[in-house]
Amino acid sequence: MQELYYMSWDEFEDATRKILRQIEEKKIKIDTIIPVLRGGATLGAVLNNNLDNTEIAYIHVKRSESNGVNAVLGEPVLRGITNVEKITGKDVLIVDDMLDKGVTMEFVIKSIKKLEPKSIKVAVIYNFTKLKDEDMFIIGATMETKKWIVYPWEKEINV
């Protein structure tokens, strides 16, 4: 079982700010943000709120067998894509919480390419993969030793 790391909301905000700075510094044009559900939903919403004139479309990919910590991962399954008309011919930014082995992201990129966007960029909070194309990937945070990350929106709330 992997060691757990509980990311705080402040750390999430810092990582998001770093992503936004890179987008601005590199003058990356974005028409449509495509969060990968479920992990990219929060980051995608915050980026969409902070970038002017961006549309949003969602891609739902199921890979984990449960929502729990250290969940078993299977092959990616496409559950659906919303607002397809906001992807075709557009500069898109695919957003997820992290790249672990890159299996899901490679699947997502392949699925989005079928919709013929003008360009594809990817933003994630953490990247632990071989997928490090400087032109395509925007990374928000780093971690020296890989741990199982529990994001602030994943914490259980006791009622």
Q: In 3-state terms, the chain is what percent helix, strand and coil (to 5)?
A: 30, 30, 40
Bridge pairing between strands 73-81 and 59-64: antiparallel
What is the Rg, in whole angstroms, of the alpha carbon atoms belonging to the chain?
Answer: 15
Task: Report CA 129 to chain centroid distance, whole Å.
Answer: 14
The pLDDT assigned to 62 comes to 85
Residues 6+ apart with CB under 8 A from 51: 20, 23, 30, 33
Chain segment 6-30, per-residue pLDDT in tens: 999 999 999 999 999 999 999 999 9
Could you tell me the pTM of the whole model? 0.90
Say how many C-beta atoms besides its own lie within 10 A of residue 9's C-beta.
Answer: 10
The pLDDT assigned to 152 comes to 94
Report how far apart, in Å, the C-alpha atoms of 1 and of each of 6, 65, 109, 119 are: 15, 16, 29, 38
Is the domain covering 4-154 a CATH 3.40.50.2020 domain?
A: yes
Chain segment 77-136, per-residue pLDDT in tens: 899 999 999 999 999 999 999 988 888 999 999 999 999 999 999 999 998 887 666 788
* Domain ranges for the chain: 4-154
